[in-house]
Amino acid sequence: MDAMRKMDIISIIISLIVTAIVIHNTHGRISRNRYWKIEIAMLAGFIFYWAFAVIMLFVFHFSLFWGLGFIGSVIFIYKYWQLQILRFHDLNYSGWYCLFGHVPIVRLYFLYIRFSKKRTALINEFDESIDYLSFLRKNSLYPEISFLSTDGVDFFVNGIKFEYRKYNNHVQYEVSKISLEENKLLEEYCKKNFKQTENAPSYAEKYKISFLDEGSLLENIKRDLHAMVYKDGFVLINGAEVFIRKNYDLYDIVYKREFSPQIKLYSAIEDDGEYCCQTLTKQELVNLIKVFA
């Protein structure tokens, strides 16, 4: 009995550790319809994988397939666990609710809501926006479209920091000379359009260039570089505030109803009264950003 209790305790500890690892590496959500399709496809693929491994083992005596079957099972369990967590996020539940899958009766209830319950909130506490700048770079939208984010009085253009400074009632922004030189488009634009002030000599890696702000520096960058402006997870593109998140291998775009006339219709719209949501493929999202910019 003591041995069985020890095994139970070890199993619980392992389950908690594995769940924590999977939760830490799982971000985003998956909608109900996508969840149905992918779970069925995963289960069918897993059955086919093991059937193939067993046939190869017993018919052709390839013992290697025991190991491949085990490796495939580990990968499947990890991906399957991630799928459940994404679905719980979609329902505004923590990924830790997966642990209820070990409780015989309660697991039936959570199985039911994962397959049947429709999300009630279009934006919830588990939502994370995509890495917008990375998306622009990976999909050949950069440098034609720039990415601008603010941090208090400072701001960043394509990841390059413009630091607010005020001297003798004059506002200026300091930027690393080396960082600016790595982005020739931005460097040429700033030197051509903004008044550069004198800078005290310093070590090369710390040397900064200062540009005088005559009241419109930030607005000019937004306009002239066709910048996507980031704020609280939303990107502001031509006046429309859009939140973009992953929906497994697709993308959700969420926006207030007031912006609906500005958004091209790509798919069925979910509407909770305040926000609208569409699900797009990667190419549709690229096309949307191109149209906006």
pLDDT in tens, the chain (293 residues): 566 676 667 666 777 787 788 888 888 899 998 899 999 998 888 888 777 777 776 766 666 666 666 777 778 888 888 999 999 999 999 888 888 877 778 888 888 888 888 887 788 989 999 999 999 989 988 878 889 998 889 999 999 999 998 888 888 999 988 888 888 888 899 889 888 886 655 545 578 888 888 888 888 888 888 888 998 899 987 778 999 999 988 999 999 999 988 888 888 899 888 899 999 999 999 998 887 76
Q: What is the pLDDT of residue 285?
A: 93
Q: How far apart are CA 90 and CA 103, in angstroms?
A: 22
Closest C-alpha to 195, from 169, 219, 171: 171
Give the per-residue pLDDT at 251.
94
Q: What is the pTM of this model?
A: 0.81
Residue 217 buriedness (CB in 10 A; 0-12 / 13-18 / 19+): buried
Tell me, what's the pLDDT at 8?
A: 63
Per-residue b or e along 179-195, where b marks 16 or more CB atoms closer than 10 Å to that residue's CB:
bbeebeebbebbeeebe
How high is the pLDDT of residue 92? Answer: 92
254: phi then psi, degrees, rounded to nearest 5: -120, 135
Those residues with Cβ within 8 angstroms of residue 202's Cβ, 6 or more apart along the chain or in another chain = 208
61: helix, coil or strand? Answer: coil
List, as one string, the DSSP characters of 126-190. T-----HHHHHHHTT-TTTS-EEEEETTEEEETTEEEEEEEETTEEEEEEEHHHHHT-HHHHHHH
**Domain residue spans in the chain?**
2-116, 146-224, 227-292
pLDDT of residue 154: 93
pLDDT of residue 240: 85
pLDDT at 198: 67
Joined together, the tokens standing for residue 43 give 């289960």
Return left, alpha or beta for 159; rule: phi > 0 is left, psi -120 to 50 is alpha, else beta: left
CA angle, corner 70, sides to 69 and 74, nearest 5?
Answer: 115
Tell me what pLDDT residue 280 has: 94
Are residues 141 and 283 in contact, defined by beta-carbon separation less than 8 angstroms?
Answer: no
